[in-house]
Structure 1
C-alpha cells in the first residue's frame, strides 16, 4: 500500500478541521446553582439549538435554558461532512408499515423543505456558514454500482422523489464534475454544502441573542422525569435546572433518564481534508457547482469542495465502530485515515498526492430499528429527538421545529409526521454489537473490491453482510448510511453527519 501523504501541519483529532479553521469559541459560563425555567434543553448541537431558536421565536416570553457539556457544536454538529441534504433518516418501509406510505412520503417531502428552511434562516439571521446550494451528485464507477444507482433512482421516485427531485444525468451534464471512472451519475437539487462549525457557532450566537440562557461546561449527569409532585429536572455537578419540559438533544452522546434504556447506540464516522488543490487540479476536476458528492460503493464515501478549495471526504470507520461515545477529542485510527485516502485517490487520482492536513471523527446516534424519533411525554415532561444515523444536519432542523410545536401544544403537519412518537427497542449489552459491525463492514469492503475488479453485479458478499446485519429489504446499511444489499438499491449517498454528512 502507498503511504498516505500528510502535510507538515497534519493533525489528528482536535475536534475537527472545521473548528481548526474557525477557532474554538470561548466557553460560556457553567451552571452553578439550582434554577427554574419553562424549558430546559440538554445538548448544544443542532437539535438543541434549533429547538431553542424556534421556541424563542414562537414565544419570546418563554424562559429557556440550554445545557452543554463542552461548548455548542462540540459533538457531531461541529464534525460532520457538511451535507445539508434531504437524505431520508430511517426506514421508509418501517414507517409505512406503522403508519402509511403517504406518511413516509410526507416525511421525505418535509426533509426536502427543511434544506431550504436552514438556508433561508441562516440568511435571515446573518449566519455565514459557506452555504452553497449546488445539489447532490451520486456517482457509479463500475457496472454493479451502476445497476444499484439506476435501481435507487427508481426506488426513491416511488417514495417522494419526483423526477425533478432526483434523476439520472446525461453524460454532458455529468462532465461538469469529473470523478474518475464514472459510468453513471444522478443529481438531486435538494442539497447544499455547509461549513458545520460555522453553522453551529452562528446559530448559538443567534439563540443567545434572542434571550436563551446557554450554560457550557455543564455536563448533565441525570435527567429526572416529572411525577406530578415534582417538575422534571436536568442535574449537573454544580447545579440543577427544573422546568416544565426537559428536552434531551444529545443524540450520539446520550444521557438516559432514570429507568430508561439506551435507545440510540453511538456509532463513529470519520473524515479527512486535504490542503488546497491547485488551480490546474480544479480545472481538471471541475466542481464549480459545489455539489455534495457521494458514491454507490458499499463502503461509501461522501465529499465536498470547501470554500477555500480543499476536498473534505468522509465515511464510516474501518472497521465500523460502535460503543460508548468516549470522546477522544476526535482522534481517528490510521487504518481509517488510509481507507478514506484510498477513497479520495479512487475518485480523484489527480488529487492523490495532495497532502492530508487533518483527520477527525465523531459519534452519531443509531436506533436499533434505524428509525429516528421525536416525541414529548406530557406525563413526565420529557421530550427528545435523535437517532438520525448520520442524516442529522437537515433532520435536526425538522426535529427542532417539531419539538417547538409539541412543547407549545400545537397540532400541525409536523407533529403528524411518522417519526413523532416512534419508539424502537432499547439496545442491549451483547457481544455482537462490538464484533458484528466490524464483520459486516469488512464484507462490504470485500464486495467493493470484487465489484471493482471482475464482478459485474452486486457481490454476494454484500448480501451476506446484509443478512448478518439482520436488515430487511430497503434498510440502510451500517450506521444507517451505507449503500444497500442485493435486496435494496441503496441508501446510496445517505450520509450527512457526524463525521458523516451528519
Structure 2
C-alpha cells in the first residue's frame, strides 16, 4: 500500500490522502484480450460517471475502463475541488446553442450539485463536500464588473443565480481586504476531489464495471468493433469513450479543438486559528477575475488551497503531453507569493505542498462532446477548461446516452458539438501560444500594479481561450 501512495504522491496531495484512507486492491493491469460493449479510456470523473450512468440505464451492458495510472491520478485528483455550475458561462453557452438550451443546461448544472450531495450520502462516499457557495471576486480595479454582463443578462431573463454584494461584503466573506467586490453563487460546493474519484470507482465496481488501472492505451484501432490496444492486452468493444481530458491531444482530430495549459496549486498546513481570525471558516470557494485565474478554498481541517490557472509558460507542442505537466509545480514560489498577497498572515513556511496538472481549454471555455469524424462509435469529451467536477456529471449522462444509442435530451443537448479547428496547426499554434500567454501575463501584471498595459499586449491577450469565468478581456464581453 505505501508503495502505491509513494508512486501517486507525484500527482497531488489529494490523491495520496485519498489512498491513505482506503485499503484498495493493488492496481490490476489488463493482461489479456477481452470483449466489451463499451470501453472507456480514462478513469477520472468523466469516465467513471459515464460507466455508472451506462450501468444504471442498462445493467446488462458490459463496460470496461482502462486507466493509464490510478483512477483519480489525472485532472480528477489534482484539481482545486471546486464544484461549480455553468451559470458563469451562460453567455458563451447561449452563443453556442441558443438562449433556451443555455438556460436549461445551466439549471441542470446547478441541480447536479444537489444530486452529487445526495449521491455521496446514498453511497457512503466521504468526499468532504461542503455546499457553501462560490465568491466570484475582483482583486484589482481592472477586474471590477467582470461578472456584470453575465449577471445583468440573466436578471433580464428572470434568473438570479448570483447574489450582488454590498460594499465591503466581498472582503468580509473572503477574509481579505484584497477583494474589492464580487458576486456570490450560493449553489456551489467544495470537495476533496480524489476522495470523490475513488468513491466513484468503488461504486462503479459494485455495479459490475471492470476497471483496469496501470493500463495505458497504446493505440486505438478503428472499426466496428474498435480495439483499444494496451501493453499487455486489449479491449474489443462496439463503442469506445475517450474520457482522457488533456491527454486526448494524441488524436489529431481532437487536438485541433483545444489547447493545453497548466494549473498550479499550493497548499498550506492547517491554519485554523488564522482562518478563525479572518472569518473564513466554511467551505466557500473563491476565484478572482484575472485571465490567469487565482482560485482558492479551505479544507475541513483548516488548510488553504490556492491555485493559478495557466500560470506556467511551459506549453505543450503538438501531442507531446506525456508527463510534462506532472509532479511538483515549476512556479510554486510565484503561486505562494500570490497566496500571501491575498492572506498576509500566511508565512512562507506554512506552504507545505504543491503540484501541477494540465487543463484542456476550448476556445469558448465550454466542454464539448460527440463522435469522432468517420468513427461514429468512438465518442469524446474535451474542454472542461478548469470547471470539470460538476459539469462532468452532465458529461457522464451525455456520453452514456451516446454510447447506448439513445435519442434523448442528453444525446441532443447543446454540448454535443462537432470538432472544429479552433486553433492553428503546429508550429504556429505553439509559437502563437507563447506570444498570447506572455501577453496575458503582462495584462494581469499591469492590473496588479494598477497601470495600463500596452495596446499590443491587450490585443494579443484577446486571442486567449476562455477560462474559468468571463473576464473584462474575454472577447464575448469586450465586443
Task: Give the TM-score, by structure 2 length.
Answer: 0.87
CA deviation after TM superposition for structure 1 residue 386, in Å: 1.6
Tell me which residue corresponds to 1:123: 121
For residue 296 of structure 1, what is the aligned residue in structure 2? 289
Tell me, in whole angstroms, the C-alpha distance in 2 between the residues paired with 1:36 and 1:362. Answer: 32
1:277 positional shift: 0.8
1:65 paired to 2:64 = yes
For the aligned residues, what is the CA RMSD? 3.0
Aligned length: 464
Partner of 1:372: 367
**Distance change in 2, residues 1:36/1:107 (3 Å):** same
* 8 Å CA contact retained: 1:247, 1:384: yes
Q: Structure 1's 486 and 212: CA in aligned 2 closer, same or farther, altered over 3 A?
A: closer
SS at match of 2:426: coil
* Offset, 1:97: 4.6
- 2:315 is aligned to 322
What is the distance in 2 between the residues matched to 1:139 and 1:60? 44
CA distance in 2, matches of 1:177, 1:368: 30
> Do 1:78 and 1:197's aligned partners in 2 also have CA atoms closer than 8 Å?
yes
Are residues 484 and 432 of structure 1, via their aligned partners in 2, closer, same or farther at CA, if it must alter by over 3 Å? farther
**Could you tell me how far apart the structure 2 residues matched to 1:460 and 1:382 are?**
45
1:27-426 pair list within 5 angstroms? 27-87=26-86, 92-93=91-92, 96-97=94-95, 99-155=97-153, 157=155, 162-163=159-160, 165-171=161-167, 173-174=169-170, 175-226=172-223, 230-254=224-248, 256=250, 262-279=256-273, 281-323=274-316, 324-327=320-323, 330-334=326-330, 336-367=331-362, 370-376=365-371, 380-425=376-421
For 2:182 and 2:89, how far apart are their aligned partners in 1?
Answer: 24
CA distance in 2 between counterparts of 1:89 and 1:153 reads: 8
1:118-176 residue CA offsets vs partner (Å, 9 max, x unmatched): 22212211110100010101222333222334445335546x7822x102212475424
2:460 aligned partner: 468
Give, in whole Å, the separation in 2 of the partners of 1:112 and 1:161: 16
Say if 1:291 and 1:370 are closer, same or farther in 2 by CA, change over 3 A: closer
For the Cα contact (< 8 Å) 1:389–1:481, is it kept in 2? no
CA distance in 2, matches of 1:77, 1:251: 10
* Unpaired segments ≥5 residues, structure 2: 1-6
Counterparts of 1:161 and 1:353, CA distance in 2: 46
Distance 1:57 1:192, change over 3 A: same
- Answer yes or no: is the 8 Å Cα contact 1:48–1:66 preserved in 2: yes
What is the TM-score of this pair, normalised by structure 1? 0.83
Q: For 2:232 and 2:247, locate their aligned partners in 1 and report how far apart those are by CA, in whole Å.
A: 20
Question: Do residues 16 (structure 1) and 35 (structure 2) align?
Answer: no
Greater mean deviation of Cα atoms: 352-361 or 68-77: 352-361
Q: CA deviation at 1:329?
A: 7.5
Task: Please report how far the alpha carbon of residue 113 of structure 1 lies from its aligned counterpart in structure 2 after TM superposition.
Answer: 2.0
Task: Report how far residue 15 of structure 1 moved.
Answer: 0.7
Q: Is the 8 A contact 2:249 2:255 kept in 1?
A: no
Q: SS of the residue aligned with 2:361?
A: strand
**Structure that is richer in helix per residue:** 2
Whole-Å separation in 2 of the counterparts to 1:338 and 1:169: 32
Are residues 141 and 380 of structure 1, via their aligned partners in 2, closer, same or farther at CA, if it must alter by over 3 Å? closer
Instruction: Give the distance between the partners of 2:18 and 2:474, measured in 1 at CA.
Output: 42
Of 143-152 and 33-42, deviating more is 143-152
SS in 2 for 1:322: coil
Kindly tell me: are residues 320 and 153 of structure 1, through their superposed partners in 2, closer, same or farther at Cα, counting changes over 3 Å? farther
SS in 2 for 1:123: helix
CA distance in structure 2 between the aligned counterparts of 1:405 and 1:257, rounded to whole angstroms: 23
Q: Quick one: distance in 1 between partners of 2:423 and 2:474?
A: 27
The structure-2 alpha-carbon separation of the partners of 1:206 and 1:223, relative to structure 1 and needing over 3 Å to count, comes to same
Secondary structure of the 2:357 match is: strand
How far, CA to CA, are the matches of 2:168 and 2:89 in structure 1?
A: 34
Q: What secondary structure sits across from 1:342 in the alignment? A: helix
Query: Residues 437 and 461 of structure 2 are in contact (CA less than 8 Å); yes or no, is this contact kept in structure 1?
Result: no
Q: Which moved more, 1:69-78 or 1:81-90?
A: 81-90
Change (3 A) 1:143 1:427: closer
Q: Is the 8 A contact 1:224 1:257 kept in 2?
A: no
The counterpart of 1:485, out of the listed 470, 473, 476, is 473
